[in-house]
């Protein structure tokens, strides 16, 4: 069972999330260096972080007829929602809060990024940026329902929306094993709401950066950080939902949580480099014709199993 | 203690570089890309994320305004350098880094005049902004939307006019995303959208894919007298006009020039799009910008053919090597547009190794790997299938004869054709026979100074782009990859003049 509510977890959870996100960025940088034929090492891994102080001294942009309030709101929403989503993600035996609707909270925070990214695309009053915002909505229409059915599958299996209960219910058999479709749909959803790799469509290079095309300085830092924070948060959430939480032989539960989270994160970073950007116009078709029926069928499996018990 | 200065010095070690290639600058671009990759200086795709503007290639007066616009859109701290030949690139990048780390950059965007290597450009930041203010309505990038009033009106009167009221909601949304550009200080009371539209057209000269519109982002832009037309022109910007679209709706028209400095785009090509939503409604291709003194440019990718045609001895091996590298360059660009940066980098490395004379044994296994990963990728094929179909017959009618014609199909067929061509060329990389221009095709088709192959490819573009979505349009251009340099090259220009 997880223990919720210790005051220090409120600081530890965001801290841990930032560390995990930084590890993902560094890992990606190492793979970049390998592909580009540069020496692979620690120096190459930390170089992307030079962008952080750089962003802080950069000049903010002001565009004609921009919608400053909504723009800033959108930019801030993305990383903030990512951090808030981790409040219900147990790490080992600890969690900030374990409400009875934890899965819904996570999902709600993830949907906030819809609003955030759309506003970030809308605010600067620039064509490419706006199209980038629209693209995220189209992508959202494709990934969101399969993701929700994946979450529902796990919740149905445990007969609870409490994340702690879901982790505990996988005693002996991980949901990832007997709900592989839900697990895969969930991981695709994680890449999609972090708009990275195959789902970087809203920030596509063909749009000169899309939603990221007009932001500079601290705004840019926030949006970019939001992507990787979401990736880390999604990886951390996969552990209690599908991989049995902190359960495992030998090691303490926090160690198991860490190992599993890092493995999922590593898998996601590897995948995001292996695929080209999946355009929403093609992915929507695939999602609605193939993924949604599959995930519904998947959600049916734990429902029937529970009925038969 | 000067913390900002310290940060600037430290972070100048990894500037984000906006590489603006002008026609004639392909060789410089290649040198720069190789160096940036080796140094881990990321390439920026927009001015917003760039610290250092590197202009690659000769001076082209026509493109000077577009370059100014890029520069004006870059947030400080920023620096700007110019490399005219491949040898100047390293020095230019070094001086750019020095500029970015200097204390001067804190107060002003650094572009101090410099006579030394690298040809740093001289304007001072503050002065720049004044210029910007003076020309405010003119440098507005996408302003063309406003000049469309007349045409849009026609559309209203047309058969689709009755749809207009139903779509009011959508219209208001799109309007904001559209009517942007010029800072308002210059708009006198009651100035008609017409007049403004004209300015918009001026401003349209190839800004960086729509990023030219931000006259005052420098933070000190003139927010002068707000005109009386405020309600009609938010921020002094006229609204877009709606027009009928292909689905029978009435949506706002968005005027978006692509090029000449868009990332992963043929250098110097400017395509003006009229978009509704993200569907291309109309396409106009501009004449490519020409250097002031003709014959100064020698198109890099067809160099062996140009030399052979003028009687110099060139071997088949050299030409074949150049052609394979050209295909890899095109492929890398297509992969970048398709959103696969990891493989784009690999294609770029292979290209650079080929150009620096790597033997076949070193190239073959890596090409094999690229063919496996990219050529046989089902995902990429699924994403590019059915886009931009050019049948062999259509290509021949347009006068195109190269890989685009032989592929006889969609984007997928064309990138697979490139890979097949490279494979086919590999055994001949060291072939010492003299090059016969009539036998060996140049990278984009049989070489002829009267009708360079890229001219045919550009002619193919408008009908392919109309009705395509923006993302598909970018893929189509990248898969045909015309080289505007061929059109302004030595030899071609001379023939055109008789």
Encode pLDDT of A162-217 as tens digits.
999 999 888 878 988 889 999 999 999 999 999 998 999 988 888 888 888 888 88
Task: Give the Cβ contact number of residue B464 at 10 Å.
Answer: 21
Are B342 and A214 within 8 A, CB to CB?
Answer: no
Task: Among B2, B46, B106, B467, pick the best mutation site for testing chain A contact (most A Cβ within 10 A).
Answer: B46
* Residue-level pLDDT at B344: 93
- What CATH number is given for B3-133 in this structure? 3.40.50
| Residues of A in Cβ contact (< 8 Å) with B335 | 276
Task: Report whether pLDDT(B107) > 60.
Answer: no
Containing domain of residue A201, as a range? Answer: 3-308
| Residues of A in Cβ contact (< 8 Å) with B382 | 282
Task: Report whether pLDDT(B105) > 50.
Answer: yes
* Residue-level pLDDT at B234: 59
| Residues of B in Cβ contact (< 8 Å) with A138 | none
* Percent of chain B clearing pLDDT 90 (strictly above): 30
| Residues of B in Cβ contact (< 8 Å) with A277 | 338-340, 383
Q: From the list B211, B341, B349, which residue is nearest A126 (CB)?
A: B211
Q: Please spell the DSSP secondary structure of B200-265, one letter per residue.
A: HHHHTTT-STT-TT-TTTTTT----PPPGGGGTSGGG-PPPPEEE-TTS-EEE-EEEEE-SS-TTS
**Binning pLDDT at 50, 70 and 90, where does residue B217 land?**
very low
Mean pLDDT, all residues of chain B: 73
Least confident stretch, B57-71, B82-96, B286-300, B311-325: B286-300
**Binning pLDDT at 50, 70 and 90, where does residue B481 land?**
very high
Task: Give the Cβ contact number of residue A180 at 10 Å.
Answer: 12
* Residue-level pLDDT at B465: 92
Domain B3-133 and domain B303-497, same fold? Reply is: no
Are A127 and B77 within 8 A, CB to CB?
Answer: no
Number of domains in chain A: 1
Q: What is the pLDDT of residues A21-52, one digit of tens each?
A: 999 999 999 999 998 888 888 888 888 898 88
User: For chain A, how many helices (H) and strands (E)?
Assistant: 13, 2
| Residues of A in Cβ contact (< 8 Å) with B264 | 205-206
Q: From the list B179, B217, B377, which residue is nearest A62 (CB)?
A: B217
ipTM exceeds 0.90:
no
Q: From the list B46, B256, B471, which residue is nearest A209 (CB)?
A: B46
Mean pLDDT, all residues of chain A: 89
| Residues of B in Cβ contact (< 8 Å) with A131 | 278, 470
Judged by a CB distance cut-off of 8 A, whether residue B76 touches chain A is: yes
* Residue-level pLDDT at A87: 92
Are A63 and B469 within 8 A, CB to CB?
Answer: no
Three-class SS of residue A51? helix
Q: From the list B8, B336, B379, which residue is nearest A205 (CB)?
A: B336
- If contacts are CB pairs under 8 Å, which of residues 258-317 in chain B contact chain A? 262-264, 275, 277-278
Cβ-based contacts under 8 A for chains A and B: 198
| Residues of B in Cβ contact (< 8 Å) with A281 | 469, 471
| Separation of CA B239 from chain center | 27
* Residue-level pLDDT at B181: 35
| Residues of A in Cβ contact (< 8 Å) with B214 | 61-64, 126, 214
* Residue-level pLDDT at B327: 94
Are A205 and B341 within 8 A, CB to CB?
Answer: yes
Are A276 and B379 within 8 A, CB to CB?
Answer: yes
Are A64 and B379 within 8 A, CB to CB?
Answer: no
Judged by a CB distance cut-off of 8 A, whether residue B474 touches chain A is: yes
Write the DSSP symbol of residue A265.
H
| Residues of A in Cβ contact (< 8 Å) with B216 | 62-64
Q: What is the pLDDT of residues A225-265, one digit of tens each?
A: 999 999 999 999 999 999 988 888 888 888 999 999 999 99
Q: From the list B77, B262, B346, which residue is nearest A35 (CB)?
A: B346
Least confident stretch, A1-10, B20-29, B194-203: B194-203
Domain definitions of chain B by residue range? 3-133, 140-285, 303-497
By C-alpha distance, which of B48, B63, B65 is closest to B217?
B48
Query: What mean pLDDT is predicted for residues A136-165?
Result: 92
- What does the block give as tokens for A265? 């994160």
* Residue-level pLDDT at B179: 32
Nearest-neighbour CA in chain A from B60: distance (Å):
23
Asked whether B208 and B261 are in contact (CB, 8 A), the reply is yes
- If contacts are CB pairs under 8 Å, which of residues 195-214 in chain B contact chain A? 208-211, 213-214
Judged by a CB distance cut-off of 8 A, whether residue B223 touches chain A is: no
Write the DSSP symbol of residue B332.
H
Residue of B nearest to A204 (CA): B339
**How, if at all, do strands B17-21 and B52-56 pair?**
parallel
Taking the C-alpha atoms of residue A296 and residue B182, their distance in angstroms, rounded to an integer, is 51
| Residues of B in Cβ contact (< 8 Å) with A276 | 335, 338-340, 343, 377, 379-380, 383
| Residues of A in Cβ contact (< 8 Å) with B219 | 59-60, 62
Residue of A nearest to B264 (CA): A206
* Residue-level pLDDT at A224: 92
Least confident stretch, A10-14, A58-62, B211-215: B211-215
Q: From the list B38, B49, B471, which residue is nearest A279 (CB)?
A: B471
Residue of A nearest to B8 (CA): A54
Are B177 and A122 within 8 A, CB to CB?
Answer: yes
Taking the C-alpha atoms of residue A70 and residue A64, their distance in angstroms, rounded to an integer, is 14
Are B75 and A276 within 8 A, CB to CB?
Answer: no
Judged by a CB distance cut-off of 8 A, whether residue B230 touches chain A is: no
Task: Report whether pLDDT(B498) > 90.
Answer: no
By C-alpha distance, which of A101, A135, A98, A100 is closest to A118?
A135
Identify the helix (H) or strand (E) that includes residue B282: strand B279-285
Q: Is A290 left (phi over 0), alpha (psi -120 to 50) or beta?
A: alpha
Taking the C-alpha atoms of residue B482 and residue B467, their distance in angstroms, rounded to an integer, is 20
CATH class of the domain at B303-497: mainly alpha
Q: From the list A206, A213, A282, which residue is nearest B46 (CB)?
A: A213
Query: What mean pLDDT is predicted for residues B425-439?
Result: 87
**Binning pLDDT at 50, 70 and 90, where does residue B227 land?**
very low
Query: What mean pLDDT is predicted for residues B341-365?
Result: 91
Q: What is the pLDDT of residues A76-127, one digit of tens each?
A: 999 999 999 999 999 888 888 888 999 999 999 999 999 999 999 988 888 8
Taking the C-alpha atoms of residue B237 and residue A127, their distance in angstroms, rounded to an integer, is 14
Query: What mean pLDDT is predicted for residues B81-106?
Result: 87
**Binning pLDDT at 50, 70 and 90, where does residue B138 land?**
very low
Strand partners, A4: A95
Task: Report whether pLDDT(B251) > 80.
Answer: no
Nearest-neighbour CA in chain B from A273: distance (Å):
6
């Amino acid at each position: 069972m997880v223990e919720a509510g210790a005051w220090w977890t409120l600081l530890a959870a965001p801290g841990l999330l930032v560390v995990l996100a930084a590890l993902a960025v560094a890992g990606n940088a190492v793979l970049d260096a390998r592909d580009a034929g540069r020496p692979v090492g620690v120096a190459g891994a930390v170089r992307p972080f030079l962008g952080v102080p750089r962003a802080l001294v950069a000049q903010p942009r002001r565009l004609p007829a921009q919608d400053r309030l909504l723009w800033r709101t959108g930019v801030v929403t993305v990383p903030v929602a990512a951090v808030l989503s981790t409040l219900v993600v147990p790490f080992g035996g600890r969690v900030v809060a374990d409400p009875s609707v934890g899965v819904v909270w996570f999902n709600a925070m993830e949907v906030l990024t819809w609003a955030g990214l759309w506003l970030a695309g809308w605010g600067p009053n620039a064509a490419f940026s706006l199209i980038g915002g629209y693209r995220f909505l189209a992508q959202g229409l494709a990934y969101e329902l399969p993701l929700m059915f994946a979450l529902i599958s796990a919740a149905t299996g445990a007969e609870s929306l409490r994340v702690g209960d879901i982790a505990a219910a996988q005693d002996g058999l991980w949901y990832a094993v007997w709900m592989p479709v839900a697990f895969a749909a969930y991981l695709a959803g994680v890449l999609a709401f972090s708009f990275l790799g195959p789902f970087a469509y809203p920030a596509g290079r063909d749009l000169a950066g899309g939603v990221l095309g007009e932001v500079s300085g601290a705004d840019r830092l926030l949006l970019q950080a939001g992507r990787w924070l979401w990736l880390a948060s999604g990886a951390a959430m996969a552990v209690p939902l599908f991989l049995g939480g902190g359960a495992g032989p030998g090691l303490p539960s926090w160690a198991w949580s860490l190992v599993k989270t890092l493995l999922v994160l590593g898998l996601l970073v590897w995948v995001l480099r292996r695929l080209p950007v999946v355009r929403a116009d093609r992915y929507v078709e695939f999602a609605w014709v193939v993924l949604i029926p599959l995930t519904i069928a998947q959600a049916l499996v734990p429902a029937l199993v529970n009925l038969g018990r | 203690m000067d913390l900002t200065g310290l940060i600037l010095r430290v972070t100048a070690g990894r500037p984000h570089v906006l590489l603006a290639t002008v026609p004639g600058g392909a060789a410089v671009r290649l040198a720069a890309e190789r160096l940036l990759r080796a140094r881990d200086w990321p390439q920026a795709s927009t001015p917003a994320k760039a610290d250092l503007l590197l202009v690659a290639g000769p001076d082209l007066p026509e493109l000077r305004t577009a370059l100014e616009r890029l520069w004006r859109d870059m947030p400080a701290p920023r620096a700007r350098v110019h490399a005219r030949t491949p040898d100047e690139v390293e020095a230019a990048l070094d001086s750019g880094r020095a500029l970015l780390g200097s204390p001067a950059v804190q107060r002003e965007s650094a572009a101090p005049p410099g006579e030394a290597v690298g040809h740093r450009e001289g304007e001072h930041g503050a002065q720049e902004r004044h210029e910007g203010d003076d020309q405010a309505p003119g440098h507005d990038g996408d302003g063309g939307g406003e000049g469309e009033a007349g045409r849009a009106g026609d559309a209203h009167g047309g058969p689709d006019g009755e749809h207009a009221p139903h779509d009011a909601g959508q219209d208001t949304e799109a309007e904001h995303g559209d009517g942007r550009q010029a800072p308002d200080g210059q708009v006198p009371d009651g100035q008609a959208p017409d007049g403004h539209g004209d300015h918009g057209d001026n401003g349209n000269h190839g800004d960086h894919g729509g990023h030219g519109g931000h006259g005052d982002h420098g933070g000190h832009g003139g927010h002068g007298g707000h005109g009386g037309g405020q309600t009609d022109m938010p921020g002094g910007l006229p609204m877009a006009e709606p027009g009928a679209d292909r689905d029978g709706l009435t949506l706002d028209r968005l005027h978006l020039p692509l090029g000449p400095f868009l990332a992963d785009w043929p250098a110097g090509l400017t395509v003006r799009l009229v978009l509704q939503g993200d569907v291309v409604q109309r396409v106009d291709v501009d004449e490519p910008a020409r250097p002031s003194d003709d014959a100064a440019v020698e198109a890099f990718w067809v160099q062996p053919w140009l030399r052979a045609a003028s009687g110099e001895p060139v071997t088949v091996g050299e030409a074949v090597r150049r052609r394979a590298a050209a295909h890899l360059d095109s492929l890398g660009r297509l992969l970048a547009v398709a959103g696969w940066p990891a493989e784009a980098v690999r294609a770029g490395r292979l290209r650079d190794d080929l150009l620096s004379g790597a033997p076949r044994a070193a190239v073959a296994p890596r090409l094999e790997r690229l063919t496996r990963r990219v050529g046989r990728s089902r995902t990429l094929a699924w994403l590019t299938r059915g886009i931009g179909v050019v049948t062999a017959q259509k290509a021949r009618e347009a006068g195109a004869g190269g890989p685009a014609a032989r592929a006889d199909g969609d984007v997928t067929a064309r990138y697979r054709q490139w890979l097949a061509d490279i494979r086919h060329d590999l055994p001949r990389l060291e072939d010492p026979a003299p090059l016969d221009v009539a036998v060996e095709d140049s990278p984009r088709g049989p070489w002829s100074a009267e009708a360079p192959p890229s001219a045919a490819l550009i002619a193919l573009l408008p009908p392919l782009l109309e009705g395509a979505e923006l993302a598909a349009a970018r893929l189509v251009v990248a898969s045909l990859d015309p080289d505007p340099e061929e059109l302004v090259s030595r030899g071609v220009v001379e023939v055109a003049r008789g």
